[in-house]
């Protein structure tokens, strides 16, 4: 199948996701019943983002223009171990394997096992040859390369098991936000989107703030209260109550506005319904802190700086095709197989 034909198939999928169907709605319902963290609102949000940012013909053509992808290179079987922390989080890997002309052997997450097969079905209906590019399996069998995403613990297993193959193995990462105290109310409310979307479960969700000393928390807490309805979700509320109790019992200083708990903590990864913060003294101190944790940071949210490329407030969970997880160029890896 030619590269141009694969792009056309992806464009058809994008149009289908944009218009929707009764079957798509049924798969979304099925996904929600299987995993209550995946609310319908969050699933639709992920689908809308994919159709708009990943599956437009012009965007796809621009994306691949910088890579050597041709129609004569041999197809390799690429094993994919997908994460399941937020809806469809592994789709970019599947898209990358397909557009590069390789075969995706997919190990789905039990938390998100209905939507990807439906996407493949739509692609196969658009062109019967597309189905040969995908294989869904319970266990990777004789892959020629592997892309695996998981926790720091599972990454050790992946490295031991898949180390003999060309691989990309991803570990825990989180987004951080840098504030200087001059942010507007709008900035802080948009930051709330980066914190609360998908209940904060994504690697691009902000889990920690870097703040100047003597930072005034009141405007931030008031702005984040705009997301107070998040506590109506029973799983989130249970985590909020549990973590709130732990903070009180352990006499840990904290701040809260009823929907998020803020604690001073050097760790990047925070519990559900909790947000860490750390102070910096000046720009050099901040630069040093971020450099020290660069292998744990997925992206930095805030204002652009000469020392880093920042994601604008409110855009953390809207990556584009060239925003590769962990900063590792997936398509370059696949193009060289």
Q: Dump pLDDT digits (tens) for 213-233.
A: 999 999 999 999 999 999 999
- Mean of pLDDT over the chain: 96
CA quadruple 203, 166, 78, 155: dihedral positive or negative?
A: negative
How many residues are recorded in the chain?
Answer: 337
- pLDDT (tens digit per residue) in 277-291: 999 999 999 999 999
Mean pLDDT of 51-57: 98
pLDDT at 70 over 80: no
All CATH 3.40.605.10 domain ranges of the chain, comma separated, are 3-171
* Of 5, 145, 6, 3, the residue nearest 68 (C-alpha): 3
The whole-number pLDDT of residue 81 equals 98
The whole-number pLDDT of residue 73 equals 75
Cα separation of 326 and 337, whole Å? 20
Residue 90 vs residue 73, higher pLDDT: 90
- The four Cα atoms 98, 102, 107, 108 give a dihedral, to 10 degrees, of 0
CATH 3.40.309.10 fits 174-301, yes or no: yes
Show the DSSP H helices in the chain as ranges.
Answer: 3-19, 22-34, 40-53, 57-64, 91-99, 115-126, 152-162, 185-196, 218-224, 234-249, 283-292, 330-335
CATH 3.40.50.300 fits 3-171, yes or no: no
Contacts of residue 159, Cβ cutoff 8 Å, sequence gap at least 6: 169
All CATH 3.40.309.10 domain ranges of the chain, comma separated, are 174-301
Residue 71: pLDDT band (50, 70, 90) is confident
Please state the pTM of the whole predicted model: 0.95
């Amino acid at each position: 199948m030619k590269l141009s034909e694969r792009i056309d198939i992806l464009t058809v999928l994008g149009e289908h996701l944009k218009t929707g169907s009764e079957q798509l709605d049924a798969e979304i319902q099925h996904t929600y019943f299987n995993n209550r963290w995946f609310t319908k609102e969050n699933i639709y949000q992920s689908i809308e983002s994919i159709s708009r940012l990943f599956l437009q013909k012009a965007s796809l053509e621009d994306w691949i223009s910088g890579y050597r992808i041709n129609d004569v290179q041999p197809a390799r079987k690429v094993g994919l171990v997908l994460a399941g922390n937020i809806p469809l989080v592994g789709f970019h890997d599947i898209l990358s394997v397909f557009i590069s002309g390789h075969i995706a052997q997919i190990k789905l997450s039990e938390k998100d096992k209905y939507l990807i097969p439906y996407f493949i079905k739509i692609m196969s209906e658009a062109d019967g040859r597309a189905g040969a590019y995908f294989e869904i399996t319970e266990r990777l069998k004789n892959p020629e390369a592997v892309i695996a995403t998981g926790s720091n613990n599972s990454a050790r297993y992946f490295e031991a098991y898949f180390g003999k193959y060309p691989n990309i193995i991803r570990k825990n990462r989180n987004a951080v936000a840098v504030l200087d105290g001059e942010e507007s109310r709008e900035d802080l409310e948009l930051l709330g989107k980066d914190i609360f979307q998908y209940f904060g479960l994504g690697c691009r969700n902000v889990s920690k703030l870097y703040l100047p000393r003597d930072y005034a928390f009141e405007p931030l807490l008031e702005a984040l209260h705009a997301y107070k309805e998040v506590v109506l979700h029973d799983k989130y509320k249970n985590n909020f109550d549990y973590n709130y109790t732990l903070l009180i019992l352990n006499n840990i200083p904290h701040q809260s506005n009823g929907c998020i708990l803020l604690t001073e903590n050097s760790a990047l990864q925070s519990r559900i319904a909790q947000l860490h913060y750390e102070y910096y003294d000046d720009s050099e101190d901040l630069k040093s802190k971020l450099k020290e944790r660069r292998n744990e940071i997925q992206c930095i949210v805030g204002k652009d700086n000469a020392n880093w490329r920042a994601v604008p407030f409110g855009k953390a969970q809207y990556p584009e095709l060239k925003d590769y997880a962990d900063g590792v160029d997936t398509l370059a890896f696949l193009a060289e197989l």
